[in-house]
Structure 1
Amino acid sequence: MIERYIKLSVMGLLGLTGLLSSCSTDELELYDQKKEMLSFAPDESAIKTYSFMSRPEGVMRDTVWFTVNLIGFTSDRDRYYELEQIIPEPTKDTLPSTAPSTPPSVMAEAGKHFVPFDSPEVRQALRFPANAITAQVPVILLRDPSLKQEEVTLRFKLKESSDFNIGYKEYQHRTLKFSDKLVKPNLWVSYFLGTYGPVKHSFMIQATGENWDDDYLRKLGFLPGGYVEVARQAYVMNLVKKLYKKLAAENEARRARGEEVLSEADGTPVTFKSF
């Protein structure tokens, strides 16, 4: 029993202390010791991108992972939490209009683009392990043929369950954009990688054997907000310099065959910095 009270989520309690020092009682609900709280990890990107293009054609489903943190006491038993898709209500901005505008994002459909959060499979997977202070949240994506033509967006949030209350409001939501075509990663930093294009992205994959998606960029030290960890910048610049040389060799081979240099569909040449 003593161990249970000592083994707390340090991350959660530190966050609670910080909020109590900066928020009024109207902004933060009192901590309920009868039921612990969960929040998504604050140091994790709130928006992730994924493409089935990084997987073999026969792979018809894949899982993208998020992280939740415990606020409160650990338990000697497994506990379960719930997720809920956020369905936007129609507004004057989303109602049909005769004026030209940017096409709205396509909302992901449960059962078509992802395994429903209330399905037995997902309910069983949304498990917070005994004695843990963090857990990995699985979102199971389905490779529907429509993803080859369009990117879809899944917005979801933590939902109160029999074991958990929801935690900090600003860390309750996550967004996942996915497709079956190459799309610009959310962590793409133009200063290092230059202007994004699908042809350029495809060349980077072929030249390095890496997917150059958010997961790979995160490993390289890319951060939300358009930054790269200072300690990793020299390594990233060296990678880009290698891509610059490989592109030069590719374009030389193209010219020898009487072809144009590697370009996007609109004719814009693919380029990399030489640093």
Structure 2
Amino acid sequence: MNLNKYIRFLVIGVIFCACEPQALMTYIGVDRLQFVDAKDFRYSFVYEPKTVTSDTVWVTVQTMGDVYDYDRAVSLVQVFEEEWTYTYDELGNKIDSLFDIRNDQAESGIHFIPLSEHTTFKVSANTARANLPIVVLRDVSLVKDSYRLRLRISPNDYFEEGVKDVLEKTIIISDVVVKPNGWDDIADKYLFGEYGPVKHRFIIDILGLRIDDDFFKMTKADISLLNYYNSKVKTALYEYNIANPDNPLREEPKDGDIEGALVTFPNGV
């Protein structure tokens, strides 16, 4: 029994020793680059004054390999994402399909400064990580729709591609509000009531705050603060509707509706 165990371990060891150098060979003497993570990053101009026409989003890259005493250039390219679109008959049966580029791809020079114009994409000397500036632009198209900028690490004289799963990262650019994750926990019942994009923008304008996930984490346990915000937006809504008796604040109409729902607020905690 002991002899059988020894033989098994010996065989495994031989296989490991035979395979390990081959696996390591792809990394020896090669410097590689990848993003720190592949999570989508959402950026909205909605929290910025109308005078702000551009901003900088930072993406972080990480090297694999040695660290050097000189700067190393980083190359990024835009990847155009593709998707399936389907055509259905009047009974809902799928009759055709098409694989094509998504129609919400960010356009260079319209939604972001061309990547070729960036001269600061680099990993500085004696470092293994860098924050790269992506300048996004406030085009009027962002008020209605979000646009996706998919970035990919491109090999150059300094770096080969790193781990496949973190070679690409998407920045979603918009000038629209997005319902925060914490809204349903507190706002629906006590603070702001049922969610709506017009209401969301109104609250931002009145409170002068970022009404996002961090906001709800901050206010969750502070009842007096919740009531203060609730009272402030209710008063502002009352004043707005008094000043606009023929055009009270409403959400945008849904498909098939003539007018949108009136914006209202609950009575607080």
What TM bracket, shorter-length normalisation? 0.5 to 0.7
Distance 1:184 1:246 in 2: 19
Match of 2:137 among 135, 138, 142: 142
Give the aligned partner of residue 5 of structure 1: none
- Mapping for residues 226-265 of structure 1, pairs under 5 Å: 233=217, 235-238=218-221, 242-251=225-234, 254=237, 264-265=251-252
3-state DSSP class of the match of 2:134?
strand
Pairing 1:38–2:33 present: yes
Amino acid at match of 1:200: K
Distance 1:167 1:205 in 2: 41
* Residues 212/29 of structure 1: CA separation in 2 closer, same or farther (3 Å cut): farther
Give the aligned partner of residue 58 of structure 2: 65
Give the aligned partner of residue 53 of structure 1: 46
Give the aligned partner of residue 112 of structure 1: 110
Distance 1:75 1:200 in 2: 52
CA contact under 8 A between 1:53 and 1:182: conserved in structure 2?
A: yes
CA contact under 8 A between 1:240 and 1:273: conserved in structure 2?
A: no
Q: CA deviation at 1:245?
A: 3.8
Give the aligned partner of residue 129 of structure 1: 124
Distance 1:250 1:51 in 2: 22
Q: Which runs of 5+ in 2 are unaligned?
A: 1-18, 93-101, 189-193, 253-259
Distance 2:215 2:34 in 1: 24
Amino acid at match of 1:84: V
Amino acid at match of 2:178: K
Q: CA deviation at 1:163?
A: 0.8
Amino acid at match of 1:48: F
Give the aligned partner of residue 209 of structure 1: 208
Give the aligned partner of residue 94 of structure 1: 85
Q: CA deviation at 1:263?
A: 5.5
Match of 2:75 among 78, 82, 85: 82
Q: CA deviation at 1:65?
A: 1.0
Give the aligned partner of residue 182 of structure 1: 176
Q: Which runs of 5+ in 1 are unaligned?
A: 1-23, 223-232
3-state DSSP class of the match of 2:225?
helix
Give the aligned partner of residue 10 of structure 1: none
CA contact under 8 A between 2:81 and 2:150: conserved in structure 1?
A: no
Deviations 1:111-145 (A, max 9, x none): 2211222x2x31x1211111112211221112223
Q: CA deviation at 1:203?
A: 3.7
Amino acid at match of 2:200: H
CA RMSD of aligned residues (A): 3.8
Give the aligned partner of residue 225 of structure 1: none
Distance 2:86 2:208 in 1: 44
Q: Percent identity?
A: 27
The TM-score normalised by the length of structure 2 is 0.66
